Structure 1
Amino acid sequence: MSKSNQKTKPLAQNRKASHDYSIDDTIEAGLVLRGTEIKSIRRGSANLKDSYARVYQDEMYVYNMHIAPYEEGNRFNHEPLRTRKLLLHRKEINKLRSHMQEPGNAIIPLKLYIKNGVCKMLLGIATGKKKYDKREDLKKKQMKREIDRAMKEQYR
């Protein structure tokens, strides 16, 4: 299998994102990381739970992304919650900036994975959900489960 056709397994995933936001569009971005950070990410010690991305001085940064310190690291180990720069083209940054101008929109990291030996992050352009939207989604999910269960019982 060629390198470009390999499936990429997410090393970290933001599971609450689809519950709290409706994802409108996604963009893949690279990350600027230090040596101990990438080693820790490869071990699966990253957390995207409360992280978000923002444009600052014509560059994109991700905030509150927690990467646990590398156990075998020495005194040059990284800070777990430091701000990390995202690698995007100028057109993509301008597109994200225009989406951020609209009220209720946010840019949130969805997945962190390794693609062709390079660490990538999937960013979602999201709109916040109201409480009643969340309840509606839970009802739909429950109905789908019940239908699937009934279909399974029918064909046994």
Structure 2
Amino acid sequence: MVAVDPVASRRAVARDLGAVAALDPADVDDVAAAVRDLTSGGPHSALDTTGRPAVISQAIAALRNRGALALVGIGKPAELDIMTVMTKGIQLRGVIEGDAVPQEFIPRLITLHEQGRLPLEKLITPYPFSRIEEAAQAAAGGEVIKPVLTFA
């Protein structure tokens, strides 16, 4: 896995969780080319969490032939290079709430966490509901990966 993120702390978490490389897009002239180089021709799959049209275009350009891009970020309308999508046979897939069956997926996540294979403590930061604005700002500023509101 190659992670691309402008926030150093998130790149560090990606490396801790098994990324073979973590790139700062500001340090690379051509993100797609750098990812293709690191993956010997491009990854088989990519995941966009930003919803940003420029990032989606970079992900498409980075993928190898017959690669797949999952879109989970909600953003603005994006223009796609249809010729690249067609000639490379790229699959685009929108994903809502993990496309999972909660009755099956949640127990599986709990089991993975109990086995130490899903380190939620590295991914979430709890905030009491009374600090909802602080949580939103921390997420927007890249200080946390996923703020979780608690009602205790």
Q: State the TM-score, normalizing by the size of structure 2.
A: 0.25
- Larger Cα Rg: Structure 1 or Structure 2? 1
Which has the larger share of strand? 1
Q: Which has the higher contact order (CA 8 A, sep 6+)?
A: 1
- TM score, norm. by length of structure 1: 0.25
